[in-house]
Each structure stands twice: as structure tokens, then as C-alpha cells.
Amino acid sequence: MANFSLKVNGKTQEVDVDPTTPMLWVLRDHLKLVGTKFGCGIAQCGACTVHLGDNAVRSCQLPVSAVGEQSITTIEGLSENGDHPVQKAWLEEDVYQCGYCQAGQIMNASAFLKRNPNPTDTEIEDAMNGNICRCGTYTRIKKAIKNASSISNA
């Protein structure tokens, strides 16, 4: 066990955990931020996506000891009022079915749009390919991302 001081959603938080613990479980079990989801645990599904600085990363593959000073943003901290352009676009398109994969989809999409505010369809597909949606909401996700790109560019 070791102590870590983490910057999560703009707040500094202390945890005492095994240094190998993936951030996914630090968030879910220790910080009670359960919006970040467990899907596979082996970097295959994207359900656990969070932002490390500005980058979308898979928190199931990120040991708490590797985080250091970098800030972490989870779905709970993406916006204060649930009004990030990507969240708004998701509401508008009524994207979700079960909803379980969507935090990961939203976190990946929001980091991607920051890098590439005007993506083509192919760029969207490439960027999002690591996020599985078992319910099959892919066509709506793509629409919502295009929509979000126009909201934030407006």
C-alpha cells in the first residue's frame, strides 16, 4: 500500500492503495466516482476511458503510480452542468440504449474533438473504433459527434 495524491476533476484527493491498482478501480472503489465503467479490463472496449491531461486514456491500463502530477478528468467532471457540447449532442441525438458504454464514448469523443474539431466520417470512425457499444448505437454516436463539432464551432 502507498499514498497517492491525485488531481481528479479539479480536486486533489488522497488514496492509500496498492501502487499497481489501475485508476479505474481507484476511481470506482476508492473515490466513489462510478461513472467510469468496467467493460473488459484489458484495453479492448474503451468503457473505462478518462482524460489524463488532454488525452483520452484507458483507466483500466493506467496504474495509479503512473499518474503523478497529471490531472484526471472523468465523466463526472467533464462539465459542471452536463452541458459540454458532446454531452449536449448526446442528449439531442438520444444516443444511448442501455447507456453503459456511453461515458467511455463521450470521454473519447470529447478528447478527440479537442484535437480535431472538424473531423470527417472516417476520422470519427478511426478515433472511436476502440469503444465498443454492445447495444449498437454507433450510427447515433457518429451523428452526435458531428453535431457536437458544429455546436462547439458555432
Partner 1 sequence: MTLIKTTYNRRSFLKSGSLAGGGMILGFSWLASCKPTPEQVSNIPKEWFDINSFLKIGDNGMVTIMSPNPEIGQNVKTSMPMIVADELGVDWKNVIVEQAPLNTDIFQRQLAGGSQSIRVGWSGLRMAGATAKHMLVAAAADTWQVDASEITVDAGVISHTASNNSAGFGDMASKAATMPVPEEVKLKETNDFDIIGTDRRNVDGPNIITGKPLFGIDIQEEGMMIAMIIHPPAFGMTYKSMNADTVKSMPGIKDVFPIDVYKDDTEKQWSDAGSIDKLVAIVGESTWQCMQAKKALNVEWEESSALESTEGHDEALTKLLNTSSKQPARKDGNVASAFKKADKVIERTYSAPFLAHNTMEPMNFYADVTAERALFNGPIQTPEFLEKTLASRLGMPVEKIDIKMSRMGGGFGRRLYGTFGVEAAVISQHMKAPIKLVYTREDDMTQGTYRPTYKVKYKAGLDKEGNLIAWHVKGAGSNDDLLFENRFPAGAVDNYLAEKFSLETNVTTGAWRAPRSNFVAGAEQAFLDEVAEAAGKDPIEFRLELFDRAIKNPVGEPEKNDYDPVRYAGVLKLVREKAGWDGSQKNGVARGVSAYYCHNSYVAQVLDLATDKKSPKVTKVWCAVDCGIVINPMAAKNQIEGGIIDGIGHATYSEMTFEDGKPQHKNFDTYRLIRHKEAPKEIESFFVDNGIDPTGLGEPSLPPIIGALANALYKATGKRHYNQPFITEKSVIG
Contacting residues toward ligand FES, per CB under 6 A: 38-41, 43-48, 58, 60, 96-102, 133-135, 137
- The distance of closest approach from Cβ of residue 114 to partner 1 in the complex, given in angstroms and rounded to an integer, is 17
Binding interface with partner 1 (CB under 8 A) = 1, 17-18, 20-22, 25, 28-30, 32-42, 44-45, 47, 74-76, 78, 81-83, 87, 90-92, 94, 96-103, 106, 121, 124-126, 128-142
- The distance of closest approach from Cβ of residue 139 to partner 1 in the complex, given in angstroms and rounded to an integer, is 6
- The distance of closest approach from Cβ of residue 117 to partner 1 in the complex, given in angstroms and rounded to an integer, is 19
Q: Which does 60 bind (CB under 5 to 8 A by kind): ligand FES, partner 1, none?
A: ligand FES
Hey, CA dihedral for 112, 113, 117, 121, is it positive or negative?
A: positive
User: Concatenated DSSP letters for 19-78?
Assistant: TT-BHHHIIIIIS--TTS--S-SSSSS-TTEEEETTEEEEGGG-BGGGTTT-EEE-GGGS
- The distance of closest approach from Cβ of residue 6 to partner 1 in the complex, given in angstroms and rounded to an integer, is 15
Helix (H, G, I), strand (E, B) or coil at 11: strand
Query: Could you give the dihedral angle defined by the CA atoms of residues 69, 15, 77 and 132, in that order, rounded to the nearest 10 degrees?
Result: 90
Residue with smaller CB distance to ligand FES, 77 or 99:
99
Q: 115: which DSSP letter?
A: H
